[in-house]
Amino acid sequence: MNRIKKLIAELCPNGVEWKKLGEVTIPLKKGTLKLTDLIPNGKYPVINSGREWYGRYNSYNNEGNAITIAARGNAGYINYINEKFWAGGLCYPYRSKDENLILTKYIFYALKAHEKIIMQTLVSRGSIPALNKTDIDNFPIPLPPLPIQEEIVKILDTFTELEAELEVELEARKKQYEYYRNKLLTPVEHNGRWYLNGVEVEWKKLGEVGTLIRGSGLQKKIL
């Protein structure tokens, strides 16, 4: 962060200009696919209006280094995709007009930082949440000099990788916990008798070993 502050002081001491998303990006190809069109072991991932892949397909309509913004359902949710993929009809795919001016990955992080604002202010909340392309095209993002963009992307990429590693570690810990919980608390039957960790046990109904405690309602006036 100190390096970013130094770069800002050096390269843009008077602040940065803001540009609308539509001014610095180009819209990419997209095409509607039905669920029946998807191929379980297809070569390329398909992104549509969800947070995760819609499925897989054997063709692609976009190269990597692209942003997609969900247009329906999870409207406003932003993805960055760095591989060949198929953009479905329910998302808006973008790429920077000029990587020497503004990085696609930087645009992703700039939008992601305002994702909640986009969802709260631009998404219409009807029976199906929807985001109008004109509205998102007009959304403003800061445009610092390229060295600052590169430093921001580098830092945030590092944190993203650490977050992914932590998620994997937490999932492994969860499975470990579940394994030992089940192992320690699951009785085993042998010759009509039940044993828990080598000790014989008997079964009791919950009502035989517990006492029902009733709560009391709170009146609205004391909340």
**pLDDT tens track for 68-115:** 999 999 999 999 999 999 999 999 999 999 999 999 999 999 999 999
Domain locations in the chain as residue ranges = 1-12+145-191, 17-143
Q: Which CATH architecture has domain 17-143?
A: Alpha-Beta Complex (3.90)
Contact 96, 76 (CB under 8 A): no
Q: Over the Cα atoms of the chain, what is R_g?
A: 26
> What's the pTM value of the predicted model, to 2 decimals?
0.74
Distance from the Cα of residue 48 to its chain's centroid: 14
The 10s digit of each residue's pLDDT in 122-142 is 999 888 999 999 999 999 999
